[in-house]
Amino acid sequence: METTMDTKFFVGEHRIIDVAGIKIGNGHPPVIIAGPCAVENEEQILKTAQAVHKAGANILRGGVFKPRTSPYVFQGLGKEGLIMLKNVADSLGMPIITELMDVENLELIYEYTDIIQIGSRSMYNYSLLKALGTVDKPILLKRGMSATIAEWMMAAEYIAAHGNTNVILCERGIRSFDTYTRNTLDLSAVPIMKMKTGLPVIVDPSHGTGRRELIKPMSKAALACGADGLMIEVHIDPDNALSDGKQSITPEQFSDIMSEIKRM
Ligand code: PEP
Ligand code: MN
């Protein structure tokens, strides 16, 4: 009997997602996505990008439309930031990923980015997921902060059911009773989602913990349990970042993590 949680597309057959020639998933070397939470200005994105590129990151991240809890804080630079991100990435030969929050900006983001990021707050936005089915670019689908494994799987199915099977999953922590960490990074979701869906699964220890000192141990733990990559927030001056400074690491700390990962 068909239930509401039956998957049709992602049933465990391993998929490899190609991002500008970088292969993600099914035993390929872990992809490392790094960059600031948000693009703030030209100098910040350039210096951060140069540092993460030098340390060995494969893909540059940077939010330009930011889903912030308070409407009174920095909301991202929008198109202006997108152009900065793209120019800097092009100068280094790196693909980019940035978050799309609404259908309205799909065309704009599509034009510039290599991977479209769907944030935790948008995982349940079914009209947005349907629209993503109509594009031919890879989608990084973050787990909703209160999403069960089944709900997350079905969100991925929404995109596929509307025509796009290029989905990468990202575990970014779920809400729990504890407030010491920003979220509880559910690493058991990594092998579960890989086995159940066959999709590549990457881990975001930055939003997953909210704490700078936990990025290195949780990055190693994520790779040890089979993650196909990591997404890490890096800032040239974390204490003065316009968003997520507490969880952002310095280029030096990032480069230390990269050396350790290469040893693994
Ligand atoms: C982000 O990656 O900048 C972000 C907003 O993440 P999340 O959707 O996981 O909170
Ligand atoms: Mn962030």
Q: What is the mean pLDDT of residues 13-23?
A: 97
Q: What is the pLDDT of residue 226?
A: 98
Q: What is the mean pLDDT of residues 78-85?
A: 98
Question: Where does ligand 1 bind, in terms of residues with CB under 6 Å?
Answer: 37, 63, 67, 99, 119-121, 142, 172, 204, 207
Tell me the C-alpha distance between 162 and 81, whole Å.
30
Q: Which residues pair with 177 in a beta bridge?
A: none
The protein residue with its alpha carbon nearest to ligand 1, atom 8, reads 119
Tell me the C-alpha distance between 101 and 106, whole Å.
8
Q: pTM score > 0.75 for this model?
A: yes
* Residue linked to tokens 């202006």: 80
CA of 207 to the centre of ligand 2 (A): 6
Q: What is the pLDDT of residue 5?
A: 84
Please tell me what DSSP assigns to residue 226: T
Q: What is the pLDDT of residue 57?
A: 98
pLDDT band at 76 (very low <50, low <70, confident <90, very high): very high
Ligand nearest to the CA of 121: 1
pLDDT band at 219 (very low <50, low <70, confident <90, very high): very high
Q: How far is CA 243 from CA 2, 32, 52, 136, 182, in A?
A: 44, 21, 18, 30, 14
Whether residue 202 contacts residue 211, with contact meaning beta carbons closer than 8 Å, is answered with no
Q: What is the pLDDT of residue 4?
A: 76
Please tell me what DSSP assigns to residue 65: S
Q: Between 237 and 5, name the one with better pLDDT.
A: 237
Q: What is the pLDDT of residue 106?
A: 98
Q: What is the tens place of the pLDDT at every residue in 142-166?
A: 999 999 999 999 999 999 999 999 9
* Residue linked to tokens 């990435």: 89
Q: What is the tens place of the pLDDT at every residue in 32-75?
A: 999 999 999 999 999 999 999 999 999 999 999 999 999 999 99
Whether residue 148 contacts residue 117, with contact meaning beta carbons closer than 8 Å, is answered with no
Whether residue 60 contacts residue 53, with contact meaning beta carbons closer than 8 Å, is answered with yes
Tell me the C-alpha distance between 16 and 24, whole Å.
6
Q: Give the closest residue to 62 by CA, choosing from 264, 259, 243, 256.
A: 243
Question: Which of the listed residues 39, 117, 118, 246 should we mutate to test ligand 1's pocket, taking the one with most ligand atoms within 8 A of CB?
Answer: 117
